Structure 1
Amino acid sequence: MITGYSNINSYFNAICKFRQLNPVVKGQPLRTHDPGMMTIRDALLGLKQVLEHRYNAVEDIDFSIQVSRGITNLPNILYSCILPPGQVVPNGIYTAVCFDILGRGALVGCVESKVTAKGLSTVQRKTNGNPLNIDVDGASERTKYNNVFVNPKEFYYPQEDDTELDAHIKASIQLAVGFLSI
């Protein structure tokens, strides 16, 4: 592993801790070239490696993993997506782990792309500005992810046992595969 963490919980917790120390503040982006961003980049890449190891193939279907990255600024919503064949983050159905803007945990489940909706029956988590325990809405309309989940489940920091997280990720992968008829 890149930073010495050995399991999904360690990376999950490292990403949450980073976001707690560096919460999303409108108009104050975090620059990707800042040396302080190396820890979050390492944690995201480590999470990607763990997910690739665990979920690279399910029922003989190969999956790819994509994590958030930024060219100039760190994205407000840090995520990792498990993509079935032919799916991409801006246009697809897949499983996502989206981290809260304040580092309180992550929202996990099967999602449809925010950019190109697929007509799935998603859960409307955020309505009328009501605060959420886990908030995965970014600053722009294109990065508001609270309402794109079919089966959203909140996982809180710190994670110590990944049994429930693992089961929900597997169930979400199965949902995505079912929607795609793979």
Structure 2
Amino acid sequence: MNELFSAVFKFILTLVLIPVIYAATILFGKHYAQFSGVQEDFFYWGIWFFVVVYIFVYQFKGVQDAGRKIVSGIFGFVSFGKNFFANIFPFYFFIIMLGFHVARNVFNVKNYNHFFLFFGGFSIAMHVIETAGELQSQEKGLVKPNYYFSICLVYLFSVFFIILMMNLLTSIFTFPKYINGIIKISNDIFIMFWKGFI
């Protein structure tokens, strides 16, 4: 009975998160374009390059698992949440963006921005897609409420983390504006659906 209640509850939460994911996605491009001196196309090319390689050439499960183990080790003191952090924290993206920050803002080296952005896009795509595969394999059955809910959180955290890291890189703090935009669009969608059912 408890498992059924948990499954139904997570399924409902997933439905609630769908408008939030929609808002976060459509606003992402607008906010990303605000970061001056950042060649945004290279980031998107990195994402698409990973997708092509993943489908036709190689799946990076071993690479992603290594990153997950490192994150699990770092958060090993949080016994109840180390798997959560391992799934949700984009380890390789963080390392690449940290290197980008040091090169750009500490050593004032800006000739390699496009490389960092390309591999940043590549690594975040690897994180989301490989984590989705891992989470999906953990749940049997046609309907997978735990997977739906978990991958929604992984996706949202990844998008939020990208914006936060770009804020750090460019010293343009747009995150509060981004969150407010998500709340507004999500609220409009909820109101539209509410009125549609009344």
TM-score with structure 2 setting the length: 0.28
Which one has a bigger Cα radius of gyration? Answer: 2
TM-score with structure 1 setting the length: 0.30
